[in-house]
Amino acid sequence: MTFDCLYCARTKPVSESSLEHAIPQFLGGAQAPLHYKLHNVCRTCNNRLGLHVDGSYAKSWFVTNAMAEAARKYYSGPGQSRSLPLTCIGPVNIPDLLLPKDTVAEYWLGPSGESIIWVRTGDDALYWYSGGNPTRRKQASTVYFLPVTDDPVRLQMGVEALIEGFKKTKARRIFGTKLEGLPPGETYPGFDLPNTADDSTVQAIRTLVQAGSIHAQLHMNTKFDLRFICKMALAVGFSLFGHSYLATAEAAAARSGLWPNPSFQPNVRGSSTIHNNAQLAKVAGYDGAIVILVIRTGGAYVMAMTLDRGLPFVVELCPDTLSSGLIDPALGYSLVLFPQLQRCVELSLPDLLAHVLGHASNASLAAIDKQRQVATTFWNSLPR
């Protein structure tokens, strides 16, 4: 038995089929409804596009940091919530810091503003990826953690965020502050003992932080999201409209955009993330969530996606002559994903807008709103 791969359109044996989350897992796709769990994607496309398409979007400076900020809105404390993502500032030059050959020092912030310096292998090929080339995470590196407070809750939050952020990385973890009461030869739990070179590095970092003169670099690829938008159009279009979607010119254009050819410009209609439409993000977004909308307009179905009321993109999916059992043409469709909570809500666009505007409450979203209020109370209770 065979199948045609959604992404490369090649006929493959069923043995090469793999589970594909139409909405990537970093956006909360693991919790999306079953119709977004696809099996008509070959393992080769799944692996390659995960690294070079999903990764290009997820690891961009804008998206990495937007996801970190979104997670904070539903974080209610250590032991109560998933650990928080770190915020990437970018590669930084640190005076008096001697870096090993072919490495860079990348500056990150913890949830309370902890300074984190990751000395890792550089890679110009994927220069815009926060954290560098994901395939090199198994290469030896060192991460330095400098807390900003001795408050036990904030310290636990920062340590948990660091450990989670580097759990798949071959990195020594160095605690950048001497702790009173620890016996000689011991360090903070979960960290490695520093050597003489580490002590010198920590001092160089501390000097830079105390001087308040950190100048990081922002590496940006202005086309970081174009292939991702095409991939999302294919995956969401197929999830909602089925095989009839694949026969449309829009699907063909999205597939061409997914596999770019310098000599051919596909006719993918829409707007990219960097053409920021603040009004769209405000109206169509949701605090701390990824929102996917599909609406009928101008003879077509159009998909829009926002992240924490920001970073919107829009792409035309298909003619409005197509039908879907999941979409009422008059009401539209929305999917609201909360990666930090590992939850999602599927509802019509009018129901979403009515809830956001306070006209009519949606029970599922109301329960999530209460969790956001708990998180706000938690943050307000912390010592500053």
Domain ranges of the chain: 2-58+223-374, 80-211
Structure confidence at residue 238 (pLDDT): 98
Structure confidence at residue 317 (pLDDT): 97
Q: Which residues contact 59 (CB under 8 A, 6 or more apart)?
A: 126, 128, 129, 130, 131, 134
Residue whose pair of structure tokens reads 């010119």 in the numeric block: 249
Structure confidence at residue 212 (pLDDT): 77
Structure confidence at residue 369 (pLDDT): 97
pTM of the model: 0.94
Cα 149 to Cα 113, 115, 222, 380: the distances in Å are 10, 11, 37, 16
Q: How far from the centroid of its chain's Cα atoms is residue 139's Cα?
A: 23
Structure confidence at residue 276 (pLDDT): 63
Walk along the chain (384 residues) in steps of 10 and give the mean pLDDT of each run: 96 96 97 97 96 96 96 95 95 88 94 95 90 89 93 94 94 87 78 91 88 82 93 98 96 94 78 76 88 95 94 95 95 97 96 94 97 97 89
Angle (CA) 50-56-62 rounded to 5° is 135
Query: Exposure pattern of 13-26 as b/e (b: 16+ CB <10 Å)?
Result: eeebbeebbbbbeb
Residue 261, beta-bridge partner list: 264
- Cα–Cα distance for residue pair 295/291, rounded to 1 Å: 13
